[in-house]
Chain A
Amino acid sequence: MKRIALVSLALSLAPVAALAQAVPEPPPEDAPITKLPKIKQFVEAIYPADALRDRIAAQVVLQIDLSAEGTVEDVIVVSSSTAAETLSATTAAALGVVRSSSVADWGFVSSATTAVAQMTFEPAEAGGVPVPVRIPFTYNFSLPPPPLPPPPPVGTATVAEPGPGIVNLSGTLRERGTRTLVVGAVVTVFRNEGEEASGFESVTNDEGRFEFFDLQPGEWKVLAEAPGYYPLRTAETVVVNQATDVTYYIEKGSYNPYEIVVEATRVKKEVNRRTLTAAEIVRVPGTLGDPVQVVENLPGVARSGGGQIIVRGSGPGDTGVYVDGVEIPIIYHFGGLKSVLPADVIESIDFYPGNFSVKYGRATGGIFDGHIRRLKPDQVHGAVDVSLLDASLFLEAPIGEDAAIAVAGRRSYIGNVISAVTPDDANIALVNAPVYYDYHLLANWRPSAKHELRGYFLGSDATFELLFENPAEFSTQVQSSNLSLGTSFQRGTVEYNYTPNSKMRNKLLGAVGHDKAEFRFGEQFRFLLDFFSFQVRNAFDWEMEDWLTVTFGLDYLSTLADVEVLAPFPPREGEPVGNTDVRETLFTRVEGQWTHNIAPYVEAVMEFGDLQLVPGVRFDYFQDTDSFSVDPRIVARYALTKEWTAKAGVGIVHQAPQPGETDPVFGNPNISLIRGVQYSVGAEWQPLDYIKVDGTLFYKDLYDLVVRVPAPLNLDNIGVGRVYGLELFLEHKFHENFRGWLTYTLNRAERRDAPGQPYRLFDFDQTHIVALVASYILPENWELGLRWRIVSGNPYTPFIDAVYNDALDQYDPVSGPVNSGRLPLFHQLDLRVDKSWVFDYWKLTAYLSLINSYNRGNTEGFQYSFDYSQRTPIQGLPIFPILGVRGEF
């Protein structure tokens, strides 16, 4: 049964004189009222028991003197009459209203004045100054309507039979743009009838519905109001014997993209876990709305500039990249412009710069885990995004009440733009313009609170082909003129969550993947990879005691690979580019090679008052190196006060050598695991709900790093490394239309390539990393954002001389000490502006992202003259505008 509130009221149009001013420096007597008073706290009058018993309704007209503070100073009874006098006889009869000639006799007047005297108001203002005023106020006492007649049969005309209590104006109130039902809004219909006015009021129910009974024929003015929304004013014509059903769309004052439903705050079990929601990710300037690029703005992450994630001085391949716990081979499409995960399919990302849980392994750097959206659509929703770079589509729909499905896809065309602007006389021609695309299928089924089934399919593809008109211009060693690159992969994942009771939860996940990569440089080099992967994960959480929750888990990954490589020995970390003789190629072929990795783990979360301990241990078996590892880890968090938390962690991590490093031709089949020990200690301070400050000191030892040694070994585990530093993170969560964060990382990452050698700087050692990210939501659905980064330049190995090589007819550079030079300071400001237009059924957003807004020429490396006597800086991306539009419904 729908909930209906029916109001009868009298509109008094008589002007009310302003009272004497009671505030300092009152505005002039004739100063106009610029703000009308509004009820702040309504007090309901007690319906006189006798009148209720006898079904007596009444109306009490009052005048209220309001103070400049909004309190009721005085209540004057103007008149009392029956509500039936403002209603038609039919309606009055329908409501069972009995006319009463003496309202006061029933106690209505005293009840109304008592209630009104307790109300408070937002004061009226004149010229911005609160002023006392006198206002008319009518209090109606109405009896509930009789039961509604049965609804007309489905499919018939909505013609209401004449009679008492017939709904002849009803409707649904929805939010403009999102079509969300608006609950608790007040819908009022009214009109003047001679000197008086009559009106009715209804409050929308849980289904956004409102209804009015027995409105007299003719035109009625309609006002719909809800907190946070602009009022909607319109008019409806009520026709005799006809029910009118309408749908109104009211516009929100501000469509805040960061307004997300917080289901529960996840208890923090790590020293550092940064969680970003999709809404936060999308509008970070300079990241092109990419979930992975945002990570580069978090503490502990170095600027890579090329689609790599470099965490706390670890190599790009040392950070685990997961999608809901499933490893994926490539997180970026080529060039690092966009990741393979569009924001539409992402719910949030978790990033761990170190000391991560034992559920993650096979990585000595950090962990990136993207979480796929849990679909909960109440109706079909979709989005289309078109920018200068690419276009994407997302569509989700409910299937019954327990299931939902979504598809998403994206294709780039930036390559076509590059191709179009490449001069005809350029030495490079794009045979196939760079193109990337990815496609996604998501599904949820939750038949009951205990069971949930989720599926996700991800596919990614990227290709391009270049033709060099004169390859010798680049190097005399280059013999081919055609370069092509193609990568693709697919992952299919099924996840089953079983929650038998509030103490236990099991998550079983299976994934199958296929990866393909093909790189060719004419006949001179090639790299062909065909790779299948199978992954199974299971985690069983058991709350054994109030203070103890234990997770038993298993992480299994196997791969089947076919690989063929014809290439020179690739340069390794710490080796200067430019010394490789690309004519000395090696060849290897691996067919049908299986590897199996299995890792059981157990982790406990123990709560002792303000102290939380999270010990865990992970056992890994790596078939590729036939190695076992044991990784014990522990994290402690202690709540010093309500605002302060101390935290610390230590743990051992292991990682297999990179693919290819165990190859007998390119590597060494006898090399073993890389080991790391991660330490961190710090504190968190949260003085306000929306302000958080986090400081962490970290130290990391790396052992058995794989470094180059003379043939025949090629590679060996004789390198070590150490990384230490400080991370500061000041976060302002969304509050008062502002959100943002400021991070500072002080960092030193060093490597030692052989025993007895001195430590040198790591390739991506960046001493100071500062990132400021801020967004402000303006009225009218505008949003401004900026990202400003200041980062120390990367180290590089300078060339100090050159020697002429007769055989190759070229100069060979002579390198100085490894990484003894440093590129100039990097700094860049990125701006973004978004503007949304809200229509009844959908929303349109246009955005302009201005990357490198002040066109800083950041040096990313050097280009040398033929004899290495001169060099010119290679500069990064200049100022670059990206325009785009996004439609959502």
Chain B
Amino acid sequence: MNRLSWFNTVSLTLGFAFLYIPMIILIVFSFNESKLVTVWAGFSTRWYGELMQNQAFLSAAWVTLKVAVFSSTIATVLGTMAAYVLVRGGRFMGRTLFSGMIYAPLVMPEVITGLSLLLLFIGIGLDRGVLTIVLAHTTFSMCYVSVVVSSRLVTFDRSLEEAALDLGCSPIQAFGLVTLPIIAPAVISGWLLAFTLSLDDLVIASFTSGPSSTTLPIKIFSAVRLGVSPEINALSTIMIGIVTVGVITASLVTKRASIRQRREEQEAARA
């Protein structure tokens, strides 16, 4: 057993070093005084200051945030509906096509999704801007939401809903009072997933954005193509920080919720 755990320790250490060292280097060099990103010239927060002065980045960040909030919210509503239809809808005309359209965008190369949506927008004469990016992001992220939510709905005990209906709830009340609270963690993680997918997306946004609606990834991509820059390092560090805090908070919240749920179940069993 000893030999094995030695092997495991080494593989885990090397594996996580590989995953994290590139990001740590990026973060460290964002505090570098020098314009040369590979030579250390002392600690400085100079690049963060310059970033805050950079109007182009700030307005791109604002566009990105708007797009992410709108698209993830619409995607959560549509994705939850789609999950409900897939799990509970029973048989209806074109069900196979429907589930195909839910799963296909998950494996579709982004270049194809982007190209096809752009050709649609041009075909119907819709001017490219914030609206078209929101439509594009909603379409692919609703599929992710519906996968996350339907995996929760499958394990959901249906008799709870039936009990609510028997006790006089309307179907909408039963959904709002019984189903929704139970699937809420899945709906929230679906929203978070849609939100990050939208924040991250470069390819689809490049196809569907107009000149006045540059998003942050588009801006970063065009800056990065010219080479490494300390300002982008600073921006990346801020984004990594936000994600880290978000993921840790989310995992603590779900952990506490699951502990509370277990305790309530135990109390209910005792009573």
The answer to whether A and B belong to the same complex is: no
Residues of A within 8 A of B (CB): none
Residues of B within 8 A of A (CB): none
